[in-house]
């Protein structure tokens, strides 16, 4: 019991220290230029159509994930409580689809809040799922609520600090970075009790491509002006998450 409490405390500190440190660092504002995307074309009366409509990919993958959990295929989970982090993850993904679509209709800080808030739910839930399957079941389940709350808190802090005239988005970036670090360390170094770990690797590679596409928003759009880098980011990120759906659909328990 003491050992598990120690591990829980250590994990909480692993996430808390970078986030709290970011709170006390000199503030960093979200640049207003972030809201100026390369493809602002309107179709069917919808402004910024590409960046809005591409969020349907998130909703589709979220529906696939939730439907898969509802069917609860034998072999995918030892117990039903193992589904909990994934249920939160896919619900967060659905909320991300709606929040991101709302943001891209008229990009500004207020809309970006509703884009990023559910994203932190996804990061926290997926990290808890990996801890659950690769470190300890009870530990991962115990980390679910704190990670989701911490992530959401960083986005709320960003908006609060903005309202106070000292906008600081660093805690949000710190939470995202430390969550990704945990995944990058745990997935290759700690074996899972299930097969199909390669799907998580594929998801990570596709997400990296999505981040790259986001940074090359205008450059991608300049090639034929068919799709922008940010729209491509949405599609690649949704494809990355689909790898997690495939993992849950096809994996088996390692005996």
Q: Which domain holds residue 119?
A: 2-21+49-250
Q: Calculate mean pLDDT across residues 30-40.
A: 95
What pLDDT, on a 0 to 100 scale, did the predictor assign at position 3? 54
Provide the number of structural domains found in the chain.
Answer: 1
Q: Calculate mean pLDDT across residues 195-223.
A: 96
Q: Is 41 a domain residue?
A: no
Q: Is 38 a domain residue?
A: no
Name which residue leads in pLDDT, 11 or 58: 58
What pLDDT, on a 0 to 100 scale, did the predictor assign at position 2? 42
What pLDDT, on a 0 to 100 scale, did the predictor assign at position 4? 53
Q: Is 28 a domain residue?
A: no
- Rounded to the nearest integer, the mean pLDDT of the chain is 94
Confidence of residue 73 (pLDDT cuts 50, 70, 90): confident
For the segment 145-197, what is each residue's pLDDT rounded down to a tens digit?
A: 999 999 999 999 999 999 999 999 999 999 999 999 999 999 999 999 999 99
What pLDDT, on a 0 to 100 scale, did the predictor assign at position 5? 55
Name which residue leads in pLDDT, 127 or 254: 127
Q: Give buried/exposed letters for 51-71 (b at 16+ CB in 10 A, else e).
A: bbbbbebbbebbebbbebbee
Q: Is 139 a domain residue?
A: yes
What pLDDT, on a 0 to 100 scale, did the predictor assign at position 75? 80
For the segment 14-33, what is each residue's pLDDT rounded down to a tens digit?
A: 899 999 999 999 999 999 99
Q: Is 90 a domain residue?
A: yes
State pTM to two decimals: 0.94
What pLDDT, on a 0 to 100 scale, did the predictor assign at position 76? 86
Q: Is 170 a domain residue?
A: yes
Q: Is 36 a domain residue?
A: no
Please tell me the distance from the alpha carbon of residue 147 to that of residue 35, in angstroms, as a whole number. Answer: 28
Q: Calculate mean pLDDT across residues 29-57.
A: 96
What pLDDT, on a 0 to 100 scale, did the predictor assign at position 48? 98
**CATH number for position 156:** 1.20.1070
């Amino acid at each position: 019991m003491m050992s598990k409490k120690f591990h829980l405390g250590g994990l909480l500190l692993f996430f808390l220290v970078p986030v709290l440190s970011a709170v006390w660092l000199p503030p960093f504002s979200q640049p207003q230029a972030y809201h100026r995307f390369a493809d602002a074309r309107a179709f069917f009366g919808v402004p910024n159509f590409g960046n809005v409509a591409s969020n349907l990919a998130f909703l589709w993958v979220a529906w696939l994930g939730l439907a898969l959990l509802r069917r609860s295929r034998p072999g995918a989970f030892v117990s039903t409580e193992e589904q909990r982090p994934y249920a939160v993850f896919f619900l967060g993904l659905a909320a991300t689809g709606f929040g991101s679509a709302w943001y891209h209709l008229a990009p500004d800080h207020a809309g970006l809040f509703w884009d990023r808030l559910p994203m932190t739910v996804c990061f926290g839930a997926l990290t808890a799922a990996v801890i659950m399957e690769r470190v300890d079941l009870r530990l991962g389940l115990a980390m679910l609520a704190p990670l989701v709350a911490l992530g959401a808190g960083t986005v709320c802090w960003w908006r609060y600090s903005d309202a106070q005239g000292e906008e600081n988005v660093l805690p949000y970036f710190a939470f995202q970075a430390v969550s990704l670090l945990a995944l990058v360390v745990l997935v290759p170094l700690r074996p899972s009790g299930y097969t199909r770990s390669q799907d998580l690797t594929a998801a990570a590679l596709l997400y990296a491509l999505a981040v790259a596409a986001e940074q090359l928003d205008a450059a991608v759009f300049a090639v034929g002006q068919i799709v922008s880098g940010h729209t491509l980011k949405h599609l690649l990120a949704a494809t990355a998450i689909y790898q997690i759906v495939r993992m849950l659909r096809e994996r088996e328990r390692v005996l």
